[in-house]
Amino acid sequence: ADISSAENRAKTFGLIGVAFGLSFLLGPSAVLIFTKNSDNGYLIPVLIATVIPFINFLLVLFYLPETKPTENKQKLTNKVKSNPFQGLFKVFQENRIKKLSLAFFIYFIAFTGLTTILVFFLQDSQQWTIKASNGPLVIVGIIAIVVQGVLIGPLVKQFGELKLTISGSGFILFACILLITFPEKNAGTYIYLAVSFLAIGAGLITPSIRALISKKIDKNSQGSILSSLQGLQSLGSVLGYILAGNVYDYFGPRSPFIAGGLILFLMIWLITGSDIK
C-alpha cells in the first residue's frame, strides 16, 4: 500500500496472491515427493516447514526495506503496546471500513474452512488417497497464480474492485453448490470443477477487498490497518478450522460446504451495505 498508487493497489496485492498460489503448488508437491520416496515421509516436510519461517524471519530482518518515511511514523501508546488485541480489532472502530473489515474476516473463516475440510472430506468420505486429495490443492495454486498474477490488474481496470469481490463470492458459492450436490459417479470431475471455481473466486476476492479497504483509509494508517487485517485473517483461519471440523462431525460430510455458503451470503450482504464510492 505504501509503494503503489490507488488504481494499482489490487494488482499489487495480487502479487501476494501469487506467492500464496506458489505455496499451494510447492507445499503439496513436497509432501507427495517425500511420502513416496521415504520410509518416514512425514518427518521431512515437517522439518522443512519448521525451517522456512526462520528463513523468512532473517529475510524480513536483513532484506526487507522500510517503505514508510521515518518522519511519518506514528508512536504507539503504551496501552496499544501492552494490548495487541486492541490493534487487532481497531478496524471495527473505523466507520468507513468496519463492514468491509467484517466481510474480510468472515470470508477467511469460510475460505479456510472450505479448503481445510475438503482434503479431509476427500480422504474420509470419498476414500481418495493422499496423492489424489493433494491434486485439488495444486489446482488452487495454479489458478491463484494466473488470476492474481496475470488477470487481476486488467480485470480491476475493467470492472473495479467491488464488482470483482461480489463476482468472486459468486464463484465460491457455485463451488459450494457443486460440492454439496455432486453425484458419487464421476465425482472427480465435479470436485475438480468446484475447486477451480473456488480458486477463481479466492483469486478475485482477496486482493480486491484488501484494495477496497486500503483506498478508504489515509496513507498514514495503511500499515496499522493492513496489519490488523492480517491478524483478522489469521484469526478467521483458526475459527474456520474449528467451525468446519465441528460442523463436519455433527451434521455430516457435506455440511461444511453449506455453512461456507451461508457465511458467504452474509459477506455479500455486508459488502453491498458498505458505503463504497
Taking the CA atoms of residue 165, residue 168, residue 174 and residue 179 in that order, the dihedral angle to the nearest 10 degrees is -120
CA distance 271 to 52: 36
The model's pLDDT over 17-43, given as tens digits with 9 standing for 90+, comes to 777 777 777 777 777 777 666 666 677
Question: What is the model's pLDDT at position 40?
Answer: 64
pLDDT tens profile 47-82: 888 899 999 999 999 988 877 666 555 554 444 454
pLDDT digits (tens, 9 = 90+) for 208-264: 898 888 888 777 777 778 888 888 888 999 999 999 999 999 999 999 999 999 999
How far apart CA 178 and CA 174 sit, in angstroms, is 6
Rounded Cα–Cα distance for residues 12 and 4 (Å): 7
* Helical (H) or strand (E) element with 226: helix 222-251
pTM score, whole prediction:
0.77
pLDDT at 49: 83
Cell numbers standing for residue 277:
464510492
* Residue 262: all three cell numbers together: 451461508
What is the grid cell recorded at 6? 490507488
Question: From CA 112, how far away is CA 120, in angstroms rounded?
Answer: 13
If you average pLDDT over every residue of the chain, what do you get?
A: 83
Give the separation between CA 151 and CA 14, rounded to whole angstroms: 9
Mean pLDDT of the region 88-114: 87
What is the reported pLDDT for 77? 46
Question: What is the per-residue burial (b if ≥16 Cβ within 10 Å, else e) of 242-257?
Answer: ebbeebbeeeebbbbb
Separation between Cα atoms, residue 242 and residue 261, nearest integer Å: 16
